[in-house]
Chains A and B, each alone.
Chain A
């Protein structure tokens, strides 16, 4: 599944709905798909808000692929270089915040098994990996 999306909240949710449809077609358990939908929503929202400044003229891309025993979600945007994985886990509960990498990254980490980031040309490339043959509470590895 590949989508090119405008930098709006509505487009983020269009990608989330497409992911959920993909999961149904692939017969991925609902619990896993709910977590991946949340992770995609959080990452997409982060791109729209912080990388692309909610400028609907700008676009980002989402790809979803099922490989043996795992699902990969790739997000690409042309915003400033930003490595979401660089945010450390908070030692204390987060306060009210609207900063990149706040509550959202905690949710992404909870529902994925690995997060990879690379800068490719002028693009941020974020890869979310979820193993299907492991319990969703598996230790997250970086």
Chain B
């Protein structure tokens, strides 16, 4: 099964450093390299927060987890965050097995993620 990758950069000054990555299909040993390539290009920019929307992701293996971990590591080095939302049960289960992605936030849906990001942005504005 192929992997469809849709990347939507933030479209306002407040979200300029945020991008949403929507994944559909199978993130496995044959498709993970393409995601890695696209994320490498994306992270060459000033992105600090990546939101992975996994609502349509049906298969996730350790090859995909390694791509997530690599993105997480790069974001953490620049004080950023990788977030995951809308995980289907079988995808959540793989995250649970590994249980080793500290620095990654998992949200049950977009609303919960939005509330979290709004709070982060509010805190960031207070720091400026």
Contact = CB atoms under 8 A, between A and B. Distances in A.
Interface of A: 9-10, 12-13, 16-17, 31, 34, 37-38, 41-42, 44-45, 48, 93-98, 102-104, 106-107, 110
23 contacts: A9-B30, A9-B63, A10-B30, A12-B30, A13-B26, A13-B28, A13-B29, A16-B28, A34-B90, A41-B61, A42-B61, A42-B62, A93-B98, A94-B98, A95-B100, A103-B65, A103-B98, A103-B100, A104-B62, A106-B97, A107-B61, A107-B97, A107-B98
A93 B99 CA distance: 6
A95 B99 CA distance: 10
A105 to B, nearest CB: 9
B60 to A, nearest CB: 8
Interface stretch (B6-14, B49-57, B66-74, B113-121): B66-74
Contacts of B90: 31, 34
Prevailing SS type, chain A contact patch: helix
A34 to B, nearest CB: 5
Interface of B: 1, 26, 28-30, 33, 59, 61-63, 65-66, 69-70, 73, 90, 94, 97-100, 102
A16 B63 CA distance: 15
A45 B69 contact: no
A120 B124 CA distance: 61
A117 B4 CA distance: 36
